[in-house]
Structure 1
């Protein structure tokens, strides 16, 4: 092993892999013991162990994601973590659909839970943290606008349109599924091409509005720019700095490949354990009389824990554009990958895929998107915007028990 690889594949990284995969394999051998109804002591013990291991692995994922982001720069660094987690989640949803039983609403429930968690809870918490620590922060408005328009369109195609033009159950007719698949995949691929190519500069961090250049003295006679002028200048300056991604990949290929492989290898047990945990959660929540939908929300939180931790750390450091790249990017990827995949599986297996959401969930998602659009349409985001998003997510939580 070369010196470079030794700095990446450390004893701590190996320990995380052993713990994550070891616990997952152990759970497979304990299948009969963990079949419902599980004795309460064993149920609580298993949940504590799973959550502890997931947390340990999550911190490893955050470490690798930050190294990659530092090496690649945004938006490429954020895309690595976002697409890795979303692809794994899509694969697992597909595996459930291809398994025995009726899972007509699995994609709708999973994507809806993820949407409210990302757009409401995670972004709301990040805006609150960054606002309290750094004050109002400037983001790259063009980049965030690109995310939000794609999220609005994808959310409408996924949750609202099927109720209006589909079957009474809220599924697309077979002849409607093909154009929806083509439209969604085409739009997602085009978005990724623009984000990684001609419009990459629109997803980079900009300076804080009103920040003076480094080394500038407050006693000089230089005319100070207004916050609005400073924000515009910061955005225009970010456009003039090329990313040089090809050169970075060529120069640091070994490090990037090794860190990417380690990231995926550490993410996989998190997602696998979270889905193994579903049965235990359903068993425990049913005894407590809690709604079954609460289990899906908890699992979605666990699956996106690495991305949540990375986003919170970025917010703590005042990197508000990176928060958008991680969270809004995850939302675009989740819907853009999941909906076409489940529709294709439904067509091939002759399963009905119910996508239309309930009126209350549609209303809360619409309010979340409206608040997000208003908040990020301004030059700067604040802690108040974060509180507003957290309130909507709290109402979503209350609606689960209605």
Structure 2
């Protein structure tokens, strides 16, 4: 295809967003000597506000490309592109921190715990509350949702519960790490294979407004194979995928660079250290959060599931094996076992998720319950 056909999918705004994101990251690197703690209060506030503004601008660019890809590829492929783009970058950055100087025994545990609470309670809670208020309840594909939650129950138990029971000081021993890595990767790979292949229809929207006969006809109608879609729209898909990635990367880089600034500012306010990790995780997954809420407002409950539950399955399924492998190769201890309070919150969250999505239709009341659970988690951070 010619270069002119590629430019038809790239607007001036897209280019400006990319330039703004990478320019802000370059500026942050240049100003690094001035931003060494303790940073003067006014400079700290201005820098944080500027970073958040740039991240918001870039986030809407990511959402634009993600929605265009979702429309072109259909679910679950469209949602999977956004999910894997963000999660893979996050995993790479966590791995880079572990390979850098210093001790980072709990970085994977703290990061994934924060992501779990944000996705399963804050984002899903807001999505169900707003979508439920607008649509008086939304139907979802219960088979696909059940598959997500089944994966999460097992992966979360392996990541945060089991190390505290059979490990040494909250960390798996070498002999335990190898089977855990292999089991986690095998389960995640099998899940992706089924989701993108034989069970792809289990992750598509359901429309209760249609008559049963019409729904059955739509379900039985042959879908256009993803290979044909990619062949017919190769240039558009590749262009939008590249734009999505180059717009996501500055978001993640800026989020991690502002961690030190948040630690400095929150430390002066006497706020808990874990609050900075929660804020960073929320910013990293901001594009996915915005896309999920917009999907809920459009009544696309299954897309909310694909984005949120899919993101967490990928986060746990990729992060835990990566950090365990790095720990084995570098001799670092990787502490995964969570505190009793956080384990209780994880158990409550998973139980709440199972009961919420066991319903044929999810409502605003379900969303309120998830938001209340997130509020309790924040309360625990300050305890």
Q: Supply the distance in 2 between the matched residues of 1:334 and 1:192 (Cα, whole angstroms).
A: 13
In 2, are the aligned partners of 1:201 and 1:241 still within 8 Å (CA)? no
Contact in 2 for aligned 1:73/1:243 (Cα 8 Å): no
Whole-Å Cα distance in 2 between the matches of residues 243 and 164 of structure 1? 48
Report whether the alignment pairs 1:176 with 2:157: no
- From 378, 383, 386, the equivalent of 2:359 is 378
Aligned counterpart, 2:137: 136
Are 1:343 and 2:320 counterparts?
no
Q: Which residue of 2 aligns with 1:23?
A: 24
Q: For 1:368, which of 346, 349, 363 is the aligned residue?
A: 349
Output the CA distance in 2 between the equivalents of 1:24 and 1:241.
46
Following superposition, the deviation at residue 263 of structure 1 comes to 0.2
Look up the match of 1:8: 9
> Which TM-score applies when normalising by structure 2?
0.98
Aligned counterpart, 1:193: 193
Counterpart residue number, 1:51: 52
1:216 is matched with none
Match of residue 268, structure 1, among 229, 243, 249: 249
Corresponding residue number in structure 2 for 1:147: 148
Quote how far apart the aligned CAs of 1:242 are.
2.1
Is the alpha carbon distance of 1:308 and 1:351 closer, same or farther for their aligned partners in structure 2, counting shifts above 3 Å?
A: same
Structure 2 residue runs of 5 or longer lacking an equivalent are none
Aligned residues: 382
Q: Structure 1 pair 243/382, CA: closer, same or farther in 2 (3 Å)?
A: farther
Note the residue ranges of structure 1 that are not aligned, 5 or more in a row.
Answer: 214-229
Cα deviations by residue, 1:228-271 (Å, 9 ceiling, x for unpaired)? xx5x9847843544242111000000110010000000000000
After TM superposition, the structure 1 = structure 2 runs for residues 2-401 of structure 1, keeping only pairs within 5 Å, are 2-167=3-168, 169-208=169-208, 211-213=209-211, 230=212, 234=215, 237-238=218-219, 240-401=221-382
Length-normalised TM-score, structure 1: 0.93
CA distance in 1: counterparts of 2:267 and 2:216, whole angstroms: 51
Q: Deviations over 1:306-336 (max 9, x none)?
A: 0000001000100000000000000100000
- Provide, for residues 262-321 of structure 1, a one-character-per-residue CA deviation record: whole Å limited to 9, x for no partner: 000000000000000000000000000000000000000000000000001000100000
Cα distance in 1, alignment partners of residues 178 and 217 from structure 2: 41
Q: Distance in 2 between matches of 1:20 and 1:161?
A: 40
Aligned equivalents of 2:249 and 2:322: distance in 1? Answer: 19
Task: Judge conservation of contact 1:204–1:238 (CA < 8 Å) in 2.
Answer: no
CA–CA distance in 2 between the matches of 1:212 and 1:187? 35
RMSD: 1.3
C-alpha displacement of 1:10: 1.3
Task: Give the secondary structure class of the aligned counterpart of 1:23.
Answer: helix
- Partner Cα distance (2:134, 2:5) in 1: 36
Residues of 2 paired with 1:117 and 1:18: CA distance? Answer: 29
Distance (whole Å) between structure 2 residues aligned to residue 12 and residue 271 of structure 1: 20
The 1:389/1:267 distance shift into structure 2, 3 A limit, reads same
